[in-house]
Structure 1
């Protein structure tokens, strides 16, 4: 099941992360945009969205028919969705490191890093580093997939309120320990479990949001005219508050997700239009590929400056955005879609062979 406004929301979040990361390369430091200075919180929105959307698509299948068969099918579906692109991006980023394409060789390609990245467990707190920088969050989501039955079991139990409180406390702990880079929750350390805690907390909040989506009180509060605009306004105010109150912003995100789920006119206008929806479809590719495109274009711009070619920085920025879009569009069609189909085909045909053997 695909809710168009939720897809568009993912696209807006991915572009926000892209615009947030552009000035992280020193070449583009002058292009920092205050509007996106806290877009690292879009990653927390991704975690919440994942918990919600996965529950929307898989809760009844996994929890309605509990057992190893349904759990394995769920995990294969999730790995088919995320692993093919993760593998290709990791290999390309490894080649970048080996060839020094972008002038950045910060990650050591030793056995622990390579193996943990191929298995998508690189950011589980044992000191290995993501070869493709943004893949740390994808790695932590794999842990959330593995833990989904337990998370969903708690979310649909009588102690769901305790789970919600624990998730908020966990996020407050992550924010309060002082490991954030651009802000309290901007924590992606490779040598601690804080990134894993950050993901599991956000993912749990998303599952809890799915639980209350059909509640009358929730619909009366959020599924009404003006609610989407009001929620966006509240998030905007929270983002501009002093002292970077990240927890407040994250606590408002489930309401935004629910508003998009209800798919009212305002949400559809902003999130379901062709541009937002298209960006949502390629959002995973945008999230993983954009740092590489940024760094390659930055190096090209530095070379141009070294040869006395100046005054064209805006064209380099435009070229970077267009190249990112074209690459991610192709990546979605050729890697994400086809990789998912291939793994599902292998699963289906492998099951058929096992069935023939069992009946032979």
Structure 2
């Protein structure tokens, strides 16, 4: 059944662009993460993992902006049609790319790959295309206990759907006072996790501890994004997109604080970024309204925003191969520029793949699905 057509809303170009900035940094974070050999303190672009928390805050803002005033013309079914059309095609593509590259990462870093049959791998691919999480048992075909072993970052899309469900069934009806109370309570949960483990890393496994972390990372940012949109709080500065991008990059690339001896110090930093800095950055980005600034800023922000989701959801199968090479026996001994050259090339390759997926797959598929199920050309 075709949904009632609703007019499209103009995007906040700066916020789209900030999503792209965060996506570029998180890919670089994953590329250079392997040079730390598992030691978070030594990671280059150390806080790139916080990009996910920033994505959740943006999501709360954008979902509230796009749908809060449409419920008199839209059912819950209509809402989920729109969200599935927006998110699911690239989830499927990420699972397909993960399957296509799966056996290229076979080696001592990922021992289960060598014992994984093609039928089992294809079963995990099909499950991953639905975003249903796999258990940590026989379907953990990589050995990292991921919700989605073929495409690790899909865990955050699982929580994105959780947020959308919560929004549709209850949060959309909540007053700002109720949202503020919920945000305050979720901030306590976030701070508890951050101080206890020294960072906000986690959420990608189906264990009690990891689900705890995943919910802590989701709830406050999403609620804060909704509140920020509804409150109309904006920070107006000249060159808003540039300043917001600079502050975001500074937060995500800042060195680790406190070292192994004082993990709580880095936990304070992570909480400060999520609770304080990210809402400020979004308020700055939204301060110019729908425009990112100059025509050049608008074009750059539009391109970055369009690229962000395909880049984020398709890059990690390359990281698995990279991890096997960096941490495995094939890695060259001694100090050499080769890993850096390959790492930068991998980052560029991920951008090319993400952009190709956007133009050749994601946009055409969403146009077709929108026309078929929503009665209009875009989702």
What TM-score comes out, normalization by structure 2 length? Answer: 0.73
Q: CA shift at 1:58, angstroms? A: 1.4
Select the structure that is richer in helix: 1
Check whether the contact 1:120–1:142 (CA below 8 A) recurs between aligned residues.
Answer: no
1:287 to 312, 330, 334: 312
Equivalent residue number for residue 336 of structure 1: 362
Residues 270, 276 of structure 1: 8 Å contact kept: no
Alignment check: 8 A CA contact 2:239 2:293 kept: no
Gaps of 5+ in 2: 1-9, 138-144, 259-264
Q: Is the 8 A contact 2:31 2:343 kept in 1?
A: no
Any idea what the Cα deviations from partners look like across 1:79-104, whole Å, max 9, x if unmatched? Answer: 1111111112112213433x344644
Q: Deviations over 1:84-142 (max 9, x none)?
A: 11112112213433x34464466875899666533324289998721210110011101
Aligned counterparts of 2:280 and 2:136: Cα–Cα separation in 1:
30
Offset at residue 165 of structure 1 (A): 0.8
- Taking structure 1 as the reference length, the TM-score comes to 0.76
Aligned residue in 2 for 1:81: 86
Q: Secondary structure at the match of 1:40?
A: helix
**Cα gap change, 1:71/1:237 in structure 2, threshold over 3 Å: closer, same or farther?**
closer
Residue pair 1:6, 1:260 contacting (<8 A) in 2 also: yes
Distance across 1 between alignment mates of 2:296 and 2:184: 30
How far apart in 2 are the matches of 1:325 and 1:232? Answer: 20
Once the 2 structures are TM-superposed, how far is the Cα of residue 276 of structure 1 from its aligned partner? Answer: 4.6
Name 1:13's counterpart in structure 2.
22
CA distance 1:200–1:271, shift in 2 (3 Å): farther
Deviation at 1:342, TM superposition (A): 2.7
Higher relative contact order (CA 8 A, sep 6+): 2
The structure-2 alpha-carbon separation of the partners of 1:236 and 1:250, relative to structure 1 and needing over 3 Å to count, comes to same
| Alignment match, 2:202 | 187
Alignment length, in residue pairs?
331
Contact 1:52 1:210 in 2 (8 A): yes
Contact 1:231-1:255 within 8 A present in 2 as well: no
Name the SS for the 1:36 alignment partner. Answer: coil
Which of 349, 354, 370 is residue 323 of structure 1 equivalent to?
349
Q: Partner of 1:249 in structure 2?
A: 273
Task: Map Cα deviations across residues 212-241 of structure 1 (whole Å, 9 max, x no partner).
Answer: 12xxxx34xx22459884996699589566
**Unpaired stretches in structure 1, ≥5 consecutive residues:** 350-360
Partner deviation per Cα, 1:51-95 (whole Å, 9 max, x = no partner):
101111111113x44xxx522111111111111111121122134
